[in-house]
Structure 1
Amino acid sequence: MTTEALRVARQKLVLDHFHDEVRQDWDQVLSTFPHPHYELIPTMTVHDGNSEVRAYYHDTRVAFPDQDHEIIALRHSDDAVIVEFWLLGTHRGPLGQIPPTGSRFRVRMTAYFLFEAGDDAEEKLVCERVYFDSLTLLKQLVGGVDKKNPRNWPLLLRCLRGLLRMSGEPPHPSLVNTPTADLT
């Protein structure tokens, strides 16, 4: 069972992690993991290891340089801290192959910060697994573009093409080939 002291320590680590992401202090964010690992369920992508996670941070802050969050709720389980939050920002750079639209977004998300006991009985953050509705995000990014203005039609077409190219990417195998839960 998780002790109150462990809950407090995990919560502090997670809140520091969130704070350092907003400050874009990537060294501090990465220091919360012994081995950085993100799983983005809506896009079925995994960013594993220091260089992949740094590239993920870079790409998302190019797309959304003002990215921020508003925490809604924080919960504890025996092996995780679960955070519900609003992610918000402005689409100023490319998001994968989707060109910037200049639109603001605010999307409700849930992040599972998964912990594992280490060899030295110290808890270690082993994964941040994020869930969100990608359609809500895309509707806000494209929905902010004035579709009645013919000057915006080329941008909308580039957005559609980018989305179609991205939709053909295969899912990460570890997110598809999952074991069945043992509920006995």
Structure 2
Amino acid sequence: MKQFDIPATEILRTRQKLVLDHFHDEVVQRWDDVLATFPHPHYELVATLTVHDGDSAVRGYYHDTRVAFPDQHHEIIALRHSHDAVIVEFWLMGTHLGPLGKIPPTGQTFRVRMTAYFLFDEQENLVCERIYFDTLTMLKQLLGGLDLRNPRHWPTAVRAVRGLLSMAGEPDPRLLATTPPDLGTRP
């Protein structure tokens, strides 16, 4: 399929149903059903430069995020189609009730605007969910409730900063080694 060829309406409907089922099953935590939408589960979180590739890694991602935010859910803003993707703009929401990596739970809620690209190959298999969001917006909401004038909040603030620093590992090279597309333009 070429860049400007939009698939037939029936293909777009099928893709959209798969993506909406995927979203729904994530909220109700039916992980086997979510994973069944991929022949090989693959998530890319661009904001954190992390990749979760394969059944085990993706299940670990689901587990860790639902420990941190057991009530995580979403609100779809818009859904769009391209020649090789369904693009979903949405609000992600939840309450920080468990550790997020090494960041201790703050009990704060968050509401972050995100975009997810559900990428399809030429055989119409979902091959990747690539997610874009602003981590600072989320962190401000999770940590903003800590009153740093109150000494009782200092230990949590220190653990949160240490946790953030420990999460700043090496970026996944698959998200850095990109190749510019051939857009048919002149130099």
Partner SS, residue 13 of structure 1: helix
The TM-score, its normalising length taken from structure 2, stands at 0.94
Stretches of structure 2 lacking an aligned partner (at least 5 in a row): none
Q: How far did residue 85 of structure 1 move?
A: 0.2
1:67 aligns with 2:72: yes
Q: How far did residue 148 of structure 1 move?
A: 2.6
Match of 1:11 in 2: 16
Match of 1:172 in 2: 172
Stretches of structure 1 lacking an aligned partner (at least 5 in a row): none
Letter in 1 for 2:77: I
Match of 2:148 in 1: 147
The TM-score, its normalising length taken from structure 1, stands at 0.95
Query: Is the CA contact 1:103–1:145 (under 8 Å) kept in the aligned structure 2?
Result: no
Letter in 2 for 1:159: A
Match of 1:25 in 2: 30
Q: How far did residue 150 of structure 1 move?
A: 1.2
How many residues align? The count is 179
Letter in 1 for 2:171: P
> What is the rounded CA distance, in whole Å, between the counterparts of 1:145 and 1:7 in structure 2?
45
Partner SS, residue 117 of structure 1: coil
Percent sequence identity over aligned pairs? 69
1:93-146 CA distances to partner (integer Å, 9 max, x unpaired)?
11111111110000000000000122xxxx100000000000000000000223
Partner SS, residue 160 of structure 2: helix
Partner SS, residue 167 of structure 2: helix
1:99 aligns with 2:120: no
Partner SS, residue 33 of structure 1: coil
Match of 1:115 in 2: 120
Q: How far did residue 165 of structure 1 move?
A: 1.5
Q: How far did residue 49 of structure 1 move?
A: 0.3
> What is the rounded CA distance, in whole Å, between the counterparts of 2:30 and 2:150 in structure 1?
40
1:45 aligns with 2:45: no
Query: Is the CA contact 1:40–1:131 (under 8 Å) kept in the aligned structure 2?
Result: yes
1:156 aligns with 2:161: no
Match of 1:81 in 2: 86
> What is the rounded CA distance, in whole Å, between the counterparts of 1:10 and 1:145 in structure 2?
42
* RMSD of equivalent CA atoms: 0.7
> What is the rounded CA distance, in whole Å, between the counterparts of 2:74 and 2:81 in structure 1?
19
